[in-house]
């Protein structure tokens, strides 16, 4: 069975600073990996996904993530954050062999301070 | 990108009543829809998976008689919370997966805030 661990529940950072949100997963089979962002009282929006191929994935809003199979990680990074990036971020894993059910991590609150 | 809508966005009901939440895929055919529940400051908990024309598959611990799911067409799934109680108050989010996008990508609705008095 798959599982996802987001190591940081909250990440405070100053505006224009770089940020990394950590995600580790556990799975016995190949997986697809996703990062979603959730703004208050809204649904989830896909930031980026890793299906196969290049391990460095670029997403929307200047975010990118790197798939590291040996470390079973999929950390999310942005070189310079904005106040508008303040939100909840969820890492998720999907077993490509099933119906696409997603297993979510606990979420990381990114707090960007001026 | 693919668009998923939910209706209503907010609902307040009295204890003991039933509430129906609709989830629609607006521009693609959703072969599979998922229903999640999210408590404040917590992650999404998958409640059930529904495929068009078949019975929903519920996650362990989710009462199927309390949370009725119907996926009657490729663009509509409904979640009915029967005999709602205050502990059912939560943020309910649906998602849809279909031919649009790859890698089993799910497209999420904006969520429905249910408050049971």
Judge whether residue A51 has pLDDT over 50: yes
pLDDT along chain B (117 residues), means of 10: 91 96 92 90 89 88 94 92 96 83 74 95
Beta bridge partners of B7: B22
Rounded mean pLDDT, A38-52: 89
Nearest CB to B103: which of A42, A49, A90?
Answer: A49
Closest CA to B104 of B113, B95, B112, B92: B95
A80-99 tens-digit pLDDT: 999 999 999 999 998 666 66
Q: Is A26 on the interface with B (CB under 8 A)?
A: no
Residues 6+ apart with CB under 8 A from A77: A18, A19, A20, A21, A63, A64, A65, A66
The per-residue pLDDT for A97 is: 62
Q: How far apart are CA A111 and CA A54, in angstroms?
A: 30
Tell me the shortest Cα–Cα distance from B18 to chain A, in angstroms. Answer: 23
Calculate the alpha carbon distances from B85 to B18, B46, B53, B54 in Å: 10, 20, 29, 28
At residue A85, the 3 state secondary structure works out as helix
Tell me the shortest Cα–Cα distance from B34 to chain A, in angstroms. Answer: 8
Q: CA-nearest residue of chain B to A94? A: B104
Mutate to test the interface with B, among A7, A44, A59 (most CBs of B within 10 A): A44
Check if the beta carbon of residue B44 is closer than 8 Å to that of residue A90.
yes
Q: Whole-number mean pLDDT of chain A?
A: 91
A15-32 tens-digit pLDDT: 999 999 999 999 877 788
The per-residue pLDDT for B101 is: 43
Nearest CB to B106: which of A51, A102, A105?
Answer: A102
Mutate to test the interface with A, among B47, B51, B103 (most CBs of A within 10 A): B103
Rounded mean pLDDT, A27-40: 88
Judge whether residue A72 has pLDDT over 60: yes
The per-residue pLDDT for A95 is: 67
């Amino acid at each position: 069975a798959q599982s996802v661990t987001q190591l940081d529940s909250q990440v405070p950072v100053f505006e224009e600073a770089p940020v990394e949100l950590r995600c580790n997963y556990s799975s016995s089979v190949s997986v697809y990996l996703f990062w979603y962002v959730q703004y208050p009282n809204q649904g989830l929006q896909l930031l980026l996904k890793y299906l196969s191929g290049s391990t460095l994935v670029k997403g929307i809003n200047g975010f990118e993530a790197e798939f590291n199979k040996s470390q079973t990680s999929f950390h999310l990074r942005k070189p310079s954050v904005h106040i508008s990036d303040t939100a909840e971020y969820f890492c998720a894993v999907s077993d490509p062999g099933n119906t696409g059910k997603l297993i979510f991590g606990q979420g990381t609150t990114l707090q960007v301070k001026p | 990108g693919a668009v998923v809508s939910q209706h209503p966005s907010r609902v307040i009901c009295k204890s003991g009543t039933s509430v129906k939440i609709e989830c629609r895929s607006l521009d693609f055919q959703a072969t599979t829809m998922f229903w999640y529940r999210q408590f404040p400051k917590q992650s999404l908990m998958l409640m059930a998976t529904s495929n068009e024309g078949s019975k929903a598959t519920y996650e362990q611990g989710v009462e199927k008689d309390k949370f009725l799911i119907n996926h009657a067409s490729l663009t509509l799934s409904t979640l009915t919370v029967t005999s709602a109680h205050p502990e059912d108050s939560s943020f309910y989010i649906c998602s849809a997966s279909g031919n649009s996008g790859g890698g089993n990508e799910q497209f999420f609705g904006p969520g429905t805030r249910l408050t049971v008095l």
